[in-house]
Structure 1
Amino acid sequence: MVKISMDNLNFLAINKKIFSLLVFAFYSMVTGQCIPYTGQAITSGNTYCLNGNLTVSSSIAIPNGAKLIVQSGQLQSFDIQVNGDLEINDGASVKSAGSITIGTFGTQKNSKVRLGKKAFLSLTGSVSQGDPTFMGAFPGTSATIEMDAGSVVEICGTFTQQSTTYPSVNYVGAATGRAYCIAKAEVSGGGPGSVISNDSQIVAIAMGSVTGLGAGGSSFCGPNATQATCPSLWPEGLSNNKNDCGNAPVIISEEDAFCTKPGISGTPDSFTKFGITVQQKSNDWPENIPNGFLAMESKNKGFVITRVQHVSQTPQPGDAIAEPKEGMLLYDIQDKCVKLYNGTQWKCVERSCNN
């Protein structure tokens, strides 16, 4: 008879847990899978993803080599230290009741906050940029904010930039779009050579004093900016009251960051052969519709595509669609949008620039 003591059982149970954690870590490393973010400590070498809304009551630290992606919804938190990457995807947002620090002075490590289309970052506190190049002594690294078309950074506290050899805010969207970086309190830079942005699509609005920081190539309004001092740059939804915080979502809803181009003219090379209608069919329908494959029409009926509860931007185990195919369309009930799978990611179908 084999006797197994309680100590042996506990040892086996502990080792089983350790083994499971190691397997999960190895799987995540091999597959590049995002670790669902629930407010836990973030560790270097890992990517964390948030889908939906989450409130974290403590501060968040993103170390060098780590990435936190807000894929959809809103992350609410207190202070945020970004020494790695914080990505706020299209239409997502981050609200902080504290401040955010991007980069650490002299570390020679890259740090970045990136905002997608119509994403926003809103803080009741300040934004501080720590220059990893040691004021240019060790070039090759940076601490920056990257902004896509229609995005908004709203800083209700102070804005401080240390770098003097590169701008802290860069535009990464369509050439015809624009993004807003708004500071409602004092703005300060590193002195001569320190500029906020070299991109004209960045509308930088300083509602307080400005010292040691130049406009660069940005569309700049300040110091002590008001709607009256720069009406052409002032976005709809931005209050003149510097103490009124939380304008970012209103600005996004009011801002039209889109462009259009006329359709291509010329003679059609084909006509529609198939049609479904609940109306009185005319003799030349659907053959009178150029360059189509299938035409459907009704005066009081809608077209309903496949509806699923949710699919993550990057496909995850447990998603409603297990093996998406490039070009697949569906309606995401949770995110309230029609999504297209482009071969690597699910993206909400949105109006954008036709470049």
Structure 2
Amino acid sequence: MFAFSAFANAQCIPYTGQAMTGGNTYCLSGNLSVSTNISIPNGTTLMIRSGQLQSNSIQVDGILEIGDGASVQSTGTVKVGTFGSQKNSKIKLGTKSFLSLVGSVIQEDPTFGGFYPGTTSVIEMGTNSVVEICGTFTQQSTTYPSVEYMGTPTGKAYCIAKADVSGGGGASIISDDAQIVTIAMGSVIGLGMGNSSFCGPNATKAMCPALWPEGLSEDKASCGNAPIIIDDIDGFCTKPGASGTPDGYTRFGITVQQKSGAWPENIPNGFLAMESKNKGFVITRVQHVSQVPQSGDAIAEPKEGMLLYDIQDKCVKLYNGTEWKCIQKSCND
């Protein structure tokens, strides 16, 4: 959940594209297009509560806060922080919000390469949020991750770079959060993946189908995919369970709990039932199988209906007789 509680009692100045001054909080509710460059000074917050802000370049030395379902689109460059300033700066994205840029993102390092520790310039991402960078992405810091996940523990967020990515080298990493899905469609130089769920460099959907979001075009020149990705998140269909008289009942069961007299015979339409309050079911795990079986795959002769967990692609896969496919939420029509 993304909250504005830190600013609940602050005076909020309506934002109409005017120059901002330090120490103030500005708020936008609705859509606004600003043709000039936007500068958010240190100590200043610009909150996009709803709707969309369209702009040219943005310099963020304070806080740019994009609320739940809101968005920012920029045709220019977005800079976060100023090198050696010793001042904190950040971009914060709420649930299902997005930042989409035709230009580049530059995260400058306020610590002067770690010489002045204790300050950061970061991007904080909420559940199912998207950052889409169609220009280059440059991170200067070598002492802290540039992207942090702030959403629900079971959620995720997408950080997508369609052009080249570069970092400060050494210990420079994109994120230490597994919920951050990083897709680098160009080269990656001097920047490690950290603990993020990483696909790249030169990422394609075939390279990491389990990480690739629906709605993301493989065309590097296609910008503006973020709202489509947002719309497709949780866009799977659901259907009610079958009703009526069961065809039969479960005859076999494995349990580590105290067996009740009616179990497993009281479970309809099953063949085998297994239960535990503190144990998981582990299927076969392999390093990797290609979508179309190839020599060198972990499974030499797959059979139709075979299931396994692909460690590299981080998903449960089903072999349909022709291809290995990651199992995803959908209707079985």
Tell me the TM-score range normalised by the shorter chain. Answer: 0.5 to 0.7
Partner of 2:137: 159
| Equivalent runs, 1:1-355 vs 2, <5 Å | 32-256=10-234
Residue type at the aligned position of 2:127? A
Q: Name the SS of the counterpart of 2:193 in structure 1.
A: strand
Residue type at the aligned position of 1:217? N
TM-score scaled by structure 2?
0.68
TM-superposed deviation, 1:65: 0.5
Partner of 1:20: none
Per-residue CA distance 1:25-62 (angstroms, 9 max, x = gap): xxxx9x62100000000110000000000000000000
Residue type at the aligned position of 1:97? T
The 8 Å contact of residues 146 and 170 in structure 1, kept in 2 or not, is answered as yes
Residue type at the aligned position of 2:175? S
Q: Name the SS of the counterpart of 1:251 in structure 2.
A: helix
Give, in whole Å, the separation in 2 of the partners of 1:157 and 1:32.
35
Q: Name the SS of the counterpart of 1:253 in structure 2.
A: helix
Give, in whole Å, the separation in 1 of the partners of 2:225 and 2:125.
17
Give, in whole Å, the separation in 2 of the partners of 1:224 and 1:32.
45
Give, in whole Å, the separation in 1 of the partners of 2:169 and 2:38.
30
Q: Name the SS of the counterpart of 1:48 in structure 2.
A: strand
The 8 Å contact of residues 149 and 257 in structure 1, kept in 2 or not, is answered as no
Give, in whole Å, the separation in 2 of the partners of 1:257 and 1:125.
29
Determine which structure has the larger helix proportion and give its number: 1
The 8 Å contact of residues 104 and 131 in structure 1, kept in 2 or not, is answered as yes
Runs of 4+ in 1 over 2 A off after TM superposition: none
CA RMSD of aligned residues (A): 1.6
Give, in whole Å, the separation in 1 of the partners of 2:106 and 2:10.
31
The 8 Å contact of residues 42 and 62 in structure 1, kept in 2 or not, is answered as yes
Residue type at the aligned position of 1:169? V
Q: Name the SS of the counterpart of 1:252 in structure 2.
A: helix
Partner of 1:15: none
TM-superposed deviation, 1:170: 0.1
The 8 Å contact of residues 136 and 164 in structure 1, kept in 2 or not, is answered as yes
TM-superposed deviation, 1:137: 1.0
Partner of 1:21: none
Residue type at the aligned position of 1:222? G
TM-superposed deviation, 1:255: 1.1
The 8 Å contact of residues 103 and 129 in structure 1, kept in 2 or not, is answered as yes
- Percent identical: 69
Structure 1 unaligned segments of length 5 or more: list them: 1-28, 259-355
The 8 Å contact of residues 195 and 216 in structure 1, kept in 2 or not, is answered as yes
Per-residue CA distance 1:45-83 (angstroms, 9 max, x = gap): 000000000000000000001000000000000000000
Residue type at the aligned position of 2:117? P
Q: Name the SS of the counterpart of 1:197 in structure 2.
A: coil
TM-superposed deviation, 1:257: 9.4
Residue type at the aligned position of 2:50? S
TM-superposed deviation, 1:99: 1.0
Residue type at the aligned position of 2:67? N
Give, in whole Å, the separation in 1 of the partners of 2:48 and 2:152.
21
Residue type at the aligned position of 2:100? S
Structure 2 unaligned segments of length 5 or more: list them: 1-6, 237-333
The 8 Å contact of residues 150 and 257 in structure 1, kept in 2 or not, is answered as no
Q: Name the SS of the counterpart of 1:165 in structure 2.
A: coil
Structure possessing the higher radius of gyration over alpha carbons: 1
Give, in whole Å, the separation in 2 of the partners of 1:68 and 1:192.
33
Residue type at the aligned position of 1:51? S
TM-score scaled by structure 1?
0.64
Residue type at the aligned position of 2:151? G
Alpha-carbon spacing, 1:37–1:75, altered in 2? closer, same or farther (3 Å): same
Residue type at the aligned position of 2:45? K
Number of equivalences: 230
